[in-house]
Amino acid sequence: MTQIDTTTDSTDDKVLARAAQALKQGDLVVFPTETVYGLGADASQDVAVARIFAAKNRPNFNPLIVHVASLEIAECFGVFCDPARALAQAFWPGPLSLVVPRTDDCPASLLVSAGLDSIALRVPESHIAQALLTRSQLGIAAPSANPSGALSPTDATHIAPSIREAAAVVVDGGPCRVGLESTIVGFEGDRPVLLRPGGIAVEEIEKIVGPLAAAAHNSKAPTSPGQLLSHYAPSAKVRLNATDVRADEALLRFGKSALPEGRAMAEKNLSPTGDLVEAASHLFQYLRDLDASGACTIAVEPLPATGLGLAINDRLARAAAPRNESPS
Ligand code: TXA
Ligand code: MG
């Protein structure tokens, strides 16, 4: 990416217009929120979302927070139980993310949820973030704008060169007011669970919904950010590095596959051209599709362990792991 724009003026319409346009085209945009800077993509575009993981150089898929302009729009993406709605009404716009079940017609890419049936949603308070959301009319999937393993940027000057290069536009809003990531609350049924402490104090949240439960081990909730114990696993078994395929299997191909056509019960190719970003963008959808074929096993062709291939292989290894153990 070559075009880099900066502004410290949140009302600079030209930069916001370019940022909104870039998002619609499927490009990445770095933008400020009141917590930390985010690396954003149109949440509904599979390939755009896959580019986020590639830009961060993540070795695995972590689900992402989708930023929206209002609670009303959030309800198109997620199903809000009463305590979730009460928290949204009390703290949005602001540094609180709510993990709720995806709606049946959720417009967000499955990659946003890393294959889970839930989605993290947040209405940011930052005027620039709000302006970008309103202008683009999108849900913006955005993790913190740092390379994997580095600190979250709270000023545009902190943004790493590799992240700048991956973005079509960098919107500079100066230092972030809160400077700490959002608090994340999920729900076990209607029971609110603290998934990550952050910009809104737990005491403030408890004033609205009562005591928060700690995320239980072995539940669907991560015990700490990124440590998801129970990702979506297909009901079929997963057989990795397949170099042959049986008639009662479904087949997940990658690249120029040498395996015979028409032998498996169902088949998909993650990327016939061997493009790992494209492969990541299809991964969760294709696993679901092949699972729905009723095959007892999904045979998966080998994928390179470079670039996004690392994260794809990590996810496939979890899907192939024995089911009665929690993947770590
Ligand atoms: O303040 C923030 O939250 C910033 C700004 C940019 O909004 N974003 C941020 O994103 O910190 P990120 O990706 O660095 O952290 C999001 C965390 C992840 O650790 C992930 O585990 C959790 O949110 N998360 C997202 N979706 C989830 C889901 N469906 N279930 C459980 N946890 C989820
Ligand atoms: Mg982060």
- The yes-or-no verdict on residue 303 having pLDDT over 70 is yes
Residue 11 has pLDDT above 60, yes or no: no
Which is more confident, 62 or 220? 62
Answer for the pair 198, 182: CB distance below 8 angstroms, yes or no.
yes
Binding site membership of 63 for ligand 1 (Cβ less than 6 Å): yes
When pLDDT is averaged across residues 221-241 and rounded to a whole number, the result is 64
Q: 225 pLDDT exceeds 70?
A: no
Q: Which residue has the least CA distance to atom 6 on ligand 1?
A: 38
Distance CA 257, CA 152 (A): 40
pLDDT of 220 reads 45
Beta strand 96-101 with 183-188 is: parallel
Share of the chain above pLDDT 90, in %: 76
Give per-residue pLDDT as tens, 162-187.
999 999 999 999 999 998 899 999 99
Say if residue 2's pLDDT is above 50.
no
pLDDT at residue 9 greater than cutoff 80: no
In the chain, how many H helices and how many E strands?
9, 14
Can you give the pLDDT at residue 159?
95
Q: How far is the CA of 139 from the centre of ligand 1 (A)?
A: 14
Residue with tokens 């009662």: 248
What is the average per-residue pLDDT within 249-256? 97
Give the CA dihedral 278, 286, 57, 28, nearest 10 degrees: 50
Q: What would the two tokens of residue 129 be?
A: 């973030």
When pLDDT is cut at 50, 70 and 90, the band that residue 234 belongs to is confident
Mean residue pLDDT across the chain: 89
Q: How far away, in angstroms, is 183 Cα from ligand 1 center? A: 9
Identify whether the C-beta of residue 127 lies closer than 8 Å to the C-beta of residue 138. no
Atom of ligand 1 at shortest range from CA of 37: 6
Ligand 1 centroid, distance to 264 Cα (angstroms): 37
Cα of 180 to ligand 1 centre, how many Å?
Answer: 12
DSSP for 250-318?
EEEE-SS--SPTT-SSEEEES-TT--HHHHHHHHHHHHHHHHTTT-SEEEE----SSTTHHHHHHHHHH
Atom of ligand 1 nearest to the CA of 181: 1
- Please state, in angstroms and rounded to a whole number, the distance separating the CA atoms of residues 141 and 108: 9
Residue 168 CB neighbour total at 10 angstroms: 20
- pLDDT class of 223 with cuts at 50, 70, 90: very low
Q: What is the mean pLDDT of residues 253-274?
A: 95
- Whether the per-residue pLDDT at 35 is higher than 70: the answer is yes
pLDDT of residue 7: 46
Q: At residue 328, does pLDDT exceed 80?
A: no
Contacts of residue 106, Cβ cutoff 8 Å, sequence gap at least 6: 76, 77, 78, 119
Q: Give the residue among 146, 161, 154, 142 at the shortest CA–CA distance from 29.
A: 142
Specify the pLDDT at position 151. 86
Predicted local confidence at residue 219, as pLDDT: 44
Q: Average the pLDDT over 207-215 and give the result.
A: 91
Nearest alpha carbon to residue 249 among 287, 279, 290: 290
**Whole-angstrom Cα distance, residue 328 to residue 227?**
8
80 or 232: which carries more pLDDT confidence?
80
Cβ atoms of 163 and 147 within 8 Å: the answer is yes
* CB of 120 sitting under 6 A from ligand 1: yes
Q: Whose atoms come closest to the Cα of 31: which ligand?
A: 1
Q: How would residue 232 be classed by pLDDT, with cut points 50, 70 and 90? A: low
DSSP annotation of 11: T
